[in-house]
Structure 1
């Protein structure tokens, strides 16, 4: 394969970066970072106010791209706390002024990319995660804590402990108290408290810290990806309930700007409290960054498969947390995917939509945890409040809405949620919900009576579903007669359930 150049531009609230790569090996040709952008006093993502500085940096990047004759450019932006309307405004302004079209990525997407990069490119990851590993990723808006067991991703928590948010709290507290650090530590503890029992149960743990630039510079040797971090300063801060300037080496430095100093202090306190709860045998820091994750997604052909595995794991985790009937879940998931594959000629959706249907099949019944009556509505708002790692906001919305319409309510103009959806996802929701509703009816008794199905599309606009069962399907047929109407409305094809006994 002939070598070629590609570039990744990454816009985040505090800087914009460019990396030029040589494919297929991904060798870095140039790596450039802007100066610090000012984080907003309202929203952290201050892109509109920083527009002039961003455009000026992008102009310099474009000159570099021209010098290197790079034609293939991927431009990503951290969505952070932007609202969709302002995100469209900023994207349009950037395209008008630079000719570059940005793709916004939410924190769940960025985390999935970066975690995948850590797993595949950090040589020591296998040994670090031999037993239990927590990956603590620091951010401006939030902090994420991922748990790996025997090298496999199992769980992720998104914590409201971003350094910018804590820094603002410090500034407000300084107006009312001379020493806000003890209050800040109480605040951090309160955010970690709900997961503390789970963290304390794990043994033989390693805490791996990510996105801590000051620690990277101090501890990680040039050309390396990982370094050990001493535990003593972290233990000391928990004992003293405070940080005294000048006593903690790399953690607190007088050479930093006030904004950097405050951010570093906030991160220090978060790391210290997390380490106290996890009680790790070892603490390490890695300099694998969000940019590395984005690059890995381009250079590693298996990156998306790994992210899809994380998405499935997250869905299984939330289903388990809300007590979903595992046998029914497996039945519906397996047959929903089979229906999707055999009905491709009429739904004309891609494999990503298949993944969304699979995930919706895993979590559509989580609302039963709240109340069986109207459980589909409960499922939807639980999913809206718990977006899954690796998926865009649009994807998470599709899954929530498919869960909403998998049972009794139908996606019609009379439904407010459906009516207010963007036009480009309404049909996807309707098609996936119609398929899932058919499959769900086939196990209405929750006894998995059907062992196999065979689908046949006929010339007279019928879908014959020949189901092999070891028991009567009286309840399933009754449910099917009600739930099949949506499929007929969406596709103009009438489903017919034909029962066949075992030979």
Structure 2
């Protein structure tokens, strides 16, 4: 696969592009994301589905700019897909031919099932959840993918979208007609032969805009949309306030951005109808969708479109980008696991914290690239936004705090106040802080020493194969939780 790849998604409402750089076999990072609200389907649903001249010209002009960006970033591969508006339009060939002849770009028009599949591929690889249904609300259609144990079981596409329903119903004031239309279409989902999960992974601009509003209304401490999770029941009043907003002034007061005034009510109405009909209890927001799904389908074509087990693309891409020594990161990871295991009779933590401790131990040094003297603080800030995929927000925040307090002193309660709702209990954070501090101290001279651990009651014996003065002198300075005593012997 090309080192730098461009993916363009031409939707009914927006055209989006991502440029992704491959850093190792399965790892990559985002180097550009561009969006243009071209509204290519504007006016088509009231004109027998035909694309109109002005929207086509807007899309063409935007594609020119997209290709300029792609070229400047030295992209060697461009994949361009088009969804509902072009697959429905009788005159789509006119636009496709113009783009191919004048811009040299081949656009692949995908059907609804393939669009749903790409969203499913993105979600199953980049969202930390085992069973859910994706919902991707676009301008012309809405896609669903049933995911169970990281496997896509069913893909469905419905002719339900913000632009389509606005032209057919909302612009005419026919709200009841819009709801009946959606409910009739949803029968394809509720009677497809699969149990509908109570968790929805939301994809698309309308759902992300709604999630951002809910996040702000709840004073959420982390400004990250991907992976943001909220219960439907206690946020229903926010959803209904958008649907019932009388004008743009009201929408602005609620927190809707200006560029969403024209679609947010329709998108929220569609989503609310889906939530109610599917009895959804929880929504997970996905920042990844069709574009990432197209990329991953290409990247992972030899592995059934799934990452290998125990592989995390965010961790791997950070290790690649910061050129962390593989032997050192492997040592810190294994040693973290050993320390966690030997102390388990005392800390009694769930094994999920072993995973977070290992990740924190592998990534702890990336902040030194930015500023050695503020390494932990730099890493903390970077991890909060840098662990882009396949981590719950609680996991991301916990890893950042483990690294921040990988020093001699344990965190105090006041140190954890800001992100308290996303962190485990205070005692758990103290244990995790102690274990990473011990881990880093043992390999302070980067010699990857051979070490064995023995625990007797509350005394941990660290058995080194040979004496290392730095380790022996520094371990004594570590603050320990619950009166644990540590002794180094060689």
TM-score (norm 1): 0.49
Q: Secondary structure at the match of 1:189?
A: helix
Cα deviation for residue 150 of structure 1 reads 4.5
Q: Map of 1:368-383 to 2, 5 A cutoff?
A: none
Q: Distance in 2 between matches of 1:217 and 1:240?
A: 15
Distance change (3 Å), C-alpha of 1:238 and 1:299: closer
Listed as ranges, the matches of 1:335-374 within 5 Å are none
Which consecutive unaligned segments of at least 5 residues does structure 1 have? 175-179, 308-503
Q: 2: distance between equivalents of 1:234 and 1:70?
A: 42
User: For residues 62 and 168 of structure 1, do their structure 2 counterparts lie closer, same or farther at Cα, with a shift above 3 Å needed?
Assistant: closer
Alignment of 1:138-149 (within 5 A): 138-149=137-148
Whole-Å separation in 1 of the counterparts to 2:190 and 2:158: 12
Answer yes or no: is 1:215 the counterpart of 2:210.
yes
1:39: which partner in 2?
41
- Aligned pairs for 1:77-116 within 5 A: 77-78=82-83, 80=85, 82=87, 86-116=91-121
Give SS of 1:125's match.
coil
Alpha carbons 2:11, 2:138 under 8 Å: kept: no
Residues 454-488 of structure 1: CA distance to partner in whole angstroms, max 9, x if unpaired? xxxxxxxxxxxxxxxxxxxxxxxxxxxxxxxxxxx
Q: CA deviation at 1:303?
A: 6.4
Change (3 A) 1:73 1:101: same
RMSD: 4.0
Deviations along 1:123-160, whole A, 9 cap, x unmatched?
Answer: x122xx1xxx2222212222223333444433344333
Is residue 199–residue 283 contact of structure 2 (8 Å, CA) maintained in 1? yes
Unaligned 5+ residue runs, structure 2?
Answer: 216-221, 308-490
Once residues 242 and 9 of structure 1 are traced to their aligned partners in structure 2, the CA distance between those partners, rounded to angstroms, is 31
Match of 2:199 among 164, 186, 206: 206
Residues 74 and 303 of structure 1: CA distance in aligned 2, closer, same or farther (over 3 Å) = farther
Alignment of 1:100-179 (within 5 A): 100-122=105-127, 124-126=128-130, 129=131, 133-174=132-173
Provide the residue aligned with 2:267 in structure 1.
267
Asked whether the equivalents of residues 234 and 272 of structure 1 are also in contact (C-alpha less than 8 Å), the reply is no
Return the match for 2:183 from 176, 183, 189: 189
Q: Could you say what secondary structure the match of 1:292 adopts?
A: helix
SS in 2 for 1:192: helix
Show the counterpart of 2:284: 284
Distance 2:272 2:119 in 1: 23
Q: Can you list the C-alpha shifts for 1:67-89, whole angstroms capped at 9, x where unaligned? A: 33333322332254545863332
Q: The residue matched to 1:226 in structure 2 has which SS?
A: coil
Contact 1:166–1:184, Cα closer than 8 Å, also in 2: yes
- Rate the CA distance shift 1:194–1:251 in 2: closer, same or farther, 3 A: farther
Asked which structure has the greater RCO (Cα within 8 Å, sep 6+), the reply is: 2
CA-to-partner distance for each residue in 1:194-244, whole Å, 9 max, x for gaps? 655779x95872222221231354457545521123424775599999724
- Greater CA drift, 75-84 or 99-108: 75-84
In the TM superposition, 1:434-445 aligns within 5 A as none
Aligned residues: 292
1:29, distance to aligned residue in structure 2 (A): 1.8
SS at 1:93 equivalent: helix
> Once the 2 structures are TM-superposed, how far is the Cα of residue 94 of structure 1 from its aligned partner?
0.7
Partner of residue 462, structure 1: none
Are the structure 2 counterparts of residues 251 and 160 from structure 1 closer, same or farther at C-alpha, using a change threshold of 3 Å? farther
Residue 429 of structure 1 corresponds to: none
**Partner deviation per Cα, 1:371-401 (whole Å, 9 max, x = no partner):** xxxxxxxxxxxxxxxxxxxxxxxxxxxxxxx
What SS is found at the alignment partner of 2:10?
strand
For 2:299, the equivalent position in structure 1 comes to 299
Note the 1:409-448 alignment, pairs <5 A: none
Contact 1:252–1:264, Cα closer than 8 Å, also in 2: no
Q: Distance in 2 between matches of 1:171 and 1:61?
A: 32
Structure 1 pair 303/252, CA: closer, same or farther in 2 (3 Å)? farther
**What pairs up with 1:410-489 in 2 under 5 angstroms?**
none
- The 8 Å contact of residues 182 and 242 in structure 1, kept in 2 or not, is answered as no
TM-score by length of 2: 0.50
8 Å contact from structure 2 (residues 80, 108) kept in 1: yes
* Aligned mates of 1:16, 1:183 — CA distance in 2: 29
